[in-house]
Amino acid sequence: MSTQVSKAEVVVSPGEFFQIGETRRIRSAIRLELTEHSYLPKSDDPRADWVASVAVPAFKTLSQMGFLAPRFCTIGTGAGLDALAAVEILKARTVGFTDIHDDVLEHARRNIQSNLLAQDVELVGGVGDLLSPLVGTLSEVDVIYENLPNIPMAETDDLADGQTSSTFIRERSEEIPGFAEKNLVTLHYLALQQAYPVLRVGGRVLSSIGARIPISEILALSGAAGYNGSVLTYTWKVQSEPHEVVGGFARWEREGLGPFHFYPVSVLREAFDGLSPAAAGARALQIESELAPYEIAAVDALALVESGEKVGHTVTVLDSVKVPDHAL
């Protein structure tokens, strides 16, 4: 069992969280220290946790394809649990990790270090925006993972105020394709762009996108950033922090972005019943079209949330492979 010891520390069992009987490279009880800014692992409910329900199945899918990642990097690591999953499942030995908050990064560094059994792991951490703190330090990376926020912060939000892991600062100086802005996937696009020079040819970016937009638009991100894109895994989640997140999507939908799609939880449960994330990934477009009659726009989903109902959303892990320039 996983237990929440206090707000400042959680203990996660890889047996339950990663569905791994015996770990070889990381401890069998993972202690994670958190700051008030850390994205909180859902230690009581692995199905609701992004690392357990999205990153781990994606890493296992790659590993089953025979693709390991001696050189791995996670952008926006939070507590550091995604890096530990990569050390165990993808046999990562060089582990890059970034986060935008100093305190989150320092805790992540300690969390990764203190839960390692393997002696061959080198940690390369950097505080700052996306991959920028590691540019020039990391190269020839096999896999870059990211689960970045979608929703631009409102003018009134404060980055220094508690957990802001589902939102990010709106003003960016980079050029962003219009479709990425309209779909609120700007950070995913920028991460793909920054990752390109850091990856080896044949390396890949796994973008974890609960973006509530059509899969075709998600795939278009890979193409726009110069990769070959496909859906690696497809799954669903009950919307966590529903007032904040659905409220955020509804606000931008009213301003003309989106539309963004949520679904009744019972419909999602049935549509994905008996399918592994990899099997669902292989027929993602078909599942998406079966779900289409049940789509709920963000403004309507917010009304449901406000009346006490749960809503869910799908999650895609976009697999963007760096191919030699002449192969595109």
Contacts to ligand SAM by CB under 6 A: 39, 50-51, 55, 74-78, 82, 98-101, 104, 129-130, 147-149, 165, 168
Which residue number, 74 or 320, has a Cβ lying nearer to ligand SAM?
Answer: 74
Which stretches of the chain are DSSP H helices?
14-17, 50, 56-64, 81-89, 102-114, 178-182, 186-195, 215-224, 242-254, 265-271, 277-282, 284-291, 298-306
Distance separating alpha carbons of residues 273 and 9, to the nearest angstrom: 33
Which residue number, 184 or 291, has a Cβ lying nearer to ligand SAM?
Answer: 184
Q: Which of 282, 277, 276, 242 is nearest to 262 (CA)?
A: 242
Rounded least distance, CB 292 to ligand SAM, Å: 27
Distance separating alpha carbons of residues 239 and 220, to the nearest angstrom: 24
Rounded least distance, CB 104 to ligand SAM, Å: 6
Which residue number, 147 or 235, has a Cβ lying nearer to ligand SAM?
Answer: 147
Which residue number, 213 or 291, has a Cβ lying nearer to ligand SAM?
Answer: 213
Distance separating alpha carbons of residues 83 and 275, to the nearest angstrom: 26
Closest residue by beta carbon to ligand SAM? 76
Place of tokens 């990856």: 199
Rounded least distance, CB 167 to ligand SAM, Å: 8
Q: Is 78 left (phi over 0), alpha (psi -120 to 50) or beta?
A: left
Rounded least distance, CB 75 to ligand SAM, Å: 6
Which residue number, 165 or 291, has a Cβ lying nearer to ligand SAM?
Answer: 165
Rounded least distance, CB 76 to ligand SAM, Å: 2
Distance separating alpha carbons of residues 106 and 98, to the nearest angstrom: 10
